[in-house]
């Protein structure tokens, strides 16, 4: 079993225990409302379960991550063709084309 698979299993277990601690907190707060205790706080067991499961889920996510990819530009450019590299549609301009002006409208105008 690879470390990625182990990491996914550990992350799943951590997420399940985190969901259980959230449900336990909800049930405890519902119990506090039912017995009208205003000053009661969340038990230490639930807080410990929440923090531990969050840490376990974090470790699982870190273990399940893929290997880093190289960020050197040379490796990415080596994969591209010249057509892909030289494509710059933002630099295409059409201002060099001739503007068609009718000859009759230019003759009838008077400049002031």
- Show the domain range for 47: 3-63
Residue 112 tokens read as 């002031």
In a domain, 99, yes or no: no
Reduce the DSSP state of residue 27 to 3 states and report it.
helix
- For the whole model, what pTM was predicted? 0.61
The C-alpha atoms of residue 87 and residue 74 are separated, in whole angstroms, by 18
Domains contained in the chain, number: 1
Whether the CB-CB separation of 90 and 98 falls below 8 Å is answered with no
C-alpha pair distances (Å), 110 with each of 101, 103, 106, 107: 16, 14, 9, 8
The C-alpha atoms of residue 65 and residue 31 are separated, in whole angstroms, by 40
In a domain, 13, yes or no: yes
Q: What confidence score (pLDDT) does residue 25 get?
A: 95
Low-confidence stretches of the chain (pLDDT < 50) are none
In a domain, 50, yes or no: yes
Average model confidence (pLDDT) across the chain: 84
Q: What confidence score (pLDDT) does residue 49 get?
A: 97
């Amino acid at each position: 079993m690879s470390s990625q698979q182990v990491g996914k299993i550990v992350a799943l277990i951590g997420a399940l225990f985190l969901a259980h601690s959230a449900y336990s907190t909800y049930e405890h707060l519902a119990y506090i409302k039912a017995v009208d205790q205003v000053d009661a706080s969340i038990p230490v067991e639930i807080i410990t379960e929440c923090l531990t499961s969050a840490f376990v889920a974090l470790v699982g996510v870190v273990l399940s991550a893929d290997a880093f990819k190289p960020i050197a530009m040379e490796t990415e450019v080596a994969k591209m063709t010249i057509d892909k590299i030289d494509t710059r549609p933002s630099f295409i301009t059409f201002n060099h084309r001739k503007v068609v002006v009718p000859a009759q409208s230019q003759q009838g105008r008077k400049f002031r």
